[in-house]
Chains A and B, each alone.
Chain A
Amino acid sequence: MEAKYDFETKYRKQVLQCSRCGFCQAVCPVYGLTLRPSLNARGKMLLLKEIMDGQIDLDSEELVETLYQCTTCASCEENCPSGVNVPDIIKEARKDMVHIGSCHPAFKGMNEVLQESGNIYAEDEPEDFERKRNQKAENVYFIGCVGSYREDEATMSVLALLDRLKVDYTLIDEVCCTGVLEDLGYPMIDKHVRTNIDLILATGAKTVITGCPYCSRTFNNKPQYAELKEKGIRVVHIIQFLKDFDFGVQTEKRVTYHDPCDLGRHCGIYDEPREIIRKIAPNFVEMPHTRENALCCGAGGGVRGAYPKNSIGMARRRLKEVEEVDADILLTECNSCLHNFSNAKLRKQKFKIYNITQFISKLMEEGSEKDKA
């Protein structure tokens, strides 16, 4: 029988390979919150199997709720004994769904916004950040949509940190990298890709430092941005860039760290953030779920936009672990995680949440104020 959809052509064997053991239920953040098996990876694979068997149609409206409710955190893949690459299969199925006109309205909306606007929020006025822009420099600092329009304080802090460390960088009139669209079933947008590449090349920079781990993945892995690598430009996430710096500040506070999925499971970057944290916070403690097993903040894969209540619920599950280890400070290094955690934090939870860079910047600022005094 000929495959009706691309997901089947590409992933038929993988979908069938799901042994239905259900081990993903132990790690899926959406299942962990809702306890609804149809939202778990196994539930999703069973639906795709029934589509391949002709039992149900991909355009059934009900499918949107589960196939679009996945943060693509990859915990299931990491823990799947049967070797099923669930996030990639879901992304491919979403493409098929978009193709037949079945898609969550929030994602459809995001695609429409990005056709017109240079950012996912359709904001007209970009933040200025009072830094040099589109000029010659050794490095480009690429902020990303969340850092530009929602977590601008965190971005001001990281820029202040780069200044203190005397890093030569320029901002650019960046637009959304559009990598996220492929996760939602849409193609990336060529004109935005072109804009970013041209602006980066014009600065003569050898390195692009991204504030957002997702942008970093997009620049490094998507063929649309291959030109950067071909022109000898290295793209690193801010945490990789800062690994070997000495900050000269320390805190006695009890600090813990949340691995963003895009940095951890998707890129294998677990040690660099911890090395940096140990330099500034000797009183470092791990949460029960950490590194490969870290719980997802609930914001990824477009879930924050489409299922805000569950997205916040997932963040709250993670924040409970911060309480469990009695930390004063929760650090991460992803504006999306930071944003979701900040929204989810309850007033009675007394710990503070920062990006690592933001926290270091704050310590340095406090240090220099003390020096002045």
Chain B
Amino acid sequence: MDERVKKALIDIVGEEGYTDNLIDMVSYSYDASEHRHRPSCALWVESAEQVSEILKLANNELIPVIPRGAGTGLSGMAVPIRSGIVLDLSHMNRIISISIEDRMAVVQAGVIYSELEKALKPYGFFFPPDPASETVCTLGGNVITNAGGLRGAKYGTTRDYVLGLQVVLPDGRIMRTGSKTMKSVSGYELTRLFVGSEGTLGIVTEMNLKINPRPPKTSTSLATFDDLRDAGKAVSEIMHSGIIPSALEILGKHTILAINQNTDLNLPEVEVMLLVETDGYTKEETDFQMSIVLDVFKKNNCREIKRATSKEEATDLWKARKTAYAVLARIMTHFVLEDITVPMSKIPEMLEGVEAIAQRNNIRIATYGHAGDGNLHPQILYDGYDPEQVKNKEAATAELFKLSIDLGGTLTGEHGIGLSKAPFMKLEHDPVALDMMSSIKKLFDPNNILNPGKMALKD
């Protein structure tokens, strides 16, 4: 970093807020994806005003700025691919207010998801999007990636819970979007434009989040299947059976084996397993919903059904599911984790398609995901030091995206485009739509300083 710029940055954030130390530069080169690139420096910021000063400077000097939360993203979104300044927002971690009467929490961007959950628990409320990295990921990161989670089928994703934002624009202006009301049709919906914008339009520093009362009762069951197609059909059928489970997850064989290595759950090592939760206000209500789900399982040739008998047992099952992708690193040290998503009725075809792609490319793909909203996580396992396997991995990745688009699906249900999927944007979006995205980017960030090189936007 240029000494003059370095001094100016230190004037804004202080000595303790600035680093270009090797150890920090290495750790800020990565997120949870396979990408890496070093920044020139990183800043620990404390306020929107500091962010504003930094952006003014960066905009004048034409230095890239890359916002970062916990760095748990899976598409290279926080990787500073063109160097520049990493803006670490994790120190802005204050829950500003919780208003149960207004069903709203106001939080800074760096608050960790589970910290908000903890704060809401005494009131019997929760923030429904349920990312698997809940104990680590920041809410700012959730908003900027529009993160989803295990409760997506019933409760939607982060987008459905963001009422308003404080955003710092690349020229340093600080803007408020949205409102503190449950509904508002006042002007363009700027809030939603920023949700899922991957840090390319502005830096979100504060959010008004809608919160829900938490249904106090749940039932959890798992069902095993010998045939992938039967499990796929069961999923499709549940989703038009008249009830919506609060979570419906699918786990393939490789995933089950890896979970068994990491836990003492002793899951049955079958071809495929469905893990399902229903929620409600009374036990009768959750059991009634579960009985319908289990009927569908039986009708579709499930081999075995097991109901969680205690809360602890259920918690363990969900925890195992949430750590699945990291657990798979035990089988193979390199992997890419996709999140293709298809219309609900296409799930059986997608499951079969993934299996065919694995065979065709002679590569191992572990499969699991949020079956309940059509979002599958094929995780390609390979040896990154073996050129042959790297080639096969790349071919399989391209085929997965094509499969999803051919089935009327999307490249990404919840992880975002970032670096990983940028080359495939054309598969999904027509030239006009891509052009509009680049125009919007240009409007907010004419000098292209915010997270450049992501989302296939034009320079």
The answer to whether A and B interact is yes
Please tell me if B296 contacts chain A, counting CB pairs below 8 Å.
no
Stretch from A31-39, A98-106, A170-178, A351-359 contacting the other chain: A31-39
Instruction: Tell me whether B326 and A23 are in contact (CB under 8 A).
Output: yes
Instruction: Tell me whether B22 and A37 are in contact (CB under 8 A).
Output: no
Instruction: Tell me whether B330 and A17 are in contact (CB under 8 A).
Output: yes
Which chain A residue lies CB-closest to B330? A83
Instruction: Tell me whether A20 and B333 are in contact (CB under 8 A).
Output: no
Which chain B residue lies CB-closest to A14? B333
Please tell me if B135 contacts chain A, counting CB pairs below 8 Å.
yes
Instruction: Tell me whether A35 and B22 are in contact (CB under 8 A).
Output: no
Residues of B within 8 A of A47 (CB): 23, 26-27
Instruction: Tell me whether B26 and A22 are in contact (CB under 8 A).
Output: no
Once bound together, how far apart are the Cα atoms of A37 and B33, in whole Å? 16
Known: A35-B91, A38-B21. A23 touches B26 (CB 8 A): no
Once bound together, how far apart are the Cα atoms of A43 and B29, in whole Å? 10
Which chain A residue lies CB-closest to B134? A26
Which interface residue of B24, B33, B329 has the most chain A CB atoms within 10 A? B329
Tier of interface size on chain B: 35 or more
Q: Interface code A1-42, partner B: CB below 8 Å = 1, 0 otherwise?
A: 000000000000100111111110110000000011111101
Please tell me if B70 contacts chain A, counting CB pairs below 8 Å.
yes
Which chain B residue lies CB-closest to A55? B26
Q: Interface code A245-269, partner B: CB below 8 Å = 1, 0 otherwise?
A: 0000000000000000000000000
Please tell me if B449 contacts chain A, counting CB pairs below 8 Å.
no
What is the minimal beta-carbon distance from B254 to any residue of chain A, in angstroms?
A: 15
Once bound together, how far apart are the Cα atoms of A42 and B27, in whole Å? 8
Instruction: Tell me whether B323 and A81 are in contact (CB under 8 A).
Output: yes
Please tell me if B136 contacts chain A, counting CB pairs below 8 Å.
yes
Residues of B within 8 A of A40 (CB): 27
Please tell me if B220 contacts chain A, counting CB pairs below 8 Å.
no
Cβ contact of B27, chosen from A17, A19, A26, A38, cutoff 8 A = A38
Instruction: Tell me whether B133 and A37 are in contact (CB under 8 A).
Output: no
Instruction: Tell me whether B22 and A17 are in contact (CB under 8 A).
Output: no
Q: Interface code B68-106, partner A: CB below 8 Å = 1, 0 otherwise?
A: 001110000000000000001011010000000000000
Tier of interface size on chain A: 20 to 34
Once bound together, how far apart are the Cα atoms of A47 and B23, in whole Å? 7
Instruction: Tell me whether A22 and B70 are in contact (CB under 8 A).
Output: yes
Cβ contact of B326, chosen from A21, A25, A56, A65, cutoff 8 A = A21
The B-contacting residues of A in range 41-69, CB under 8 angstroms, are 42-43, 46-47, 50, 55-56, 60, 62-63, 65-66
Please tell me if A343 contacts chain B, counting CB pairs below 8 Å.
no
Instruction: Tell me whether B26 and A82 are in contact (CB under 8 A).
Output: no
Known: A81-B323, A82-B327. A62 touches B21 (CB 8 A): yes
Once bound together, how far apart are the Cα atoms of A171 and B382, in whole Å? 58
What is the minimal beta-carbon distance from B301 to any residue of chain A, in angstroms?
A: 32
Residues of A within 8 A of B28 (CB): 37-38
What is the minimal beta-carbon distance from B336 to any residue of chain A, in angstroms?
A: 11
Name A residues whose Cβ lies closer than 8 Å to a Cβ of B. 13, 16-23, 25-26, 35-40, 42-43, 46-47, 50, 55-56, 60, 62-63, 65-66, 80-83
Contacts A22-B32, A23-B326 known; 10 new A-B pairs at CB < 8 A: A19-B335, A21-B32, A21-B323, A25-B136, A35-B44, A37-B27, A39-B23, A42-B27, A47-B26, A62-B21
27 contacts between A and B (CB under 8 A): A13-B333, A17-B329, A21-B136, A22-B32, A23-B135, A25-B136, A26-B114, A35-B93, A37-B27, A38-B26, A38-B27, A38-B28, A39-B23, A46-B26, A46-B30, A56-B22, A60-B22, A62-B22, A62-B23, A63-B22, A80-B326, A81-B323, A81-B326, A81-B327, A82-B329, A82-B330, A83-B327
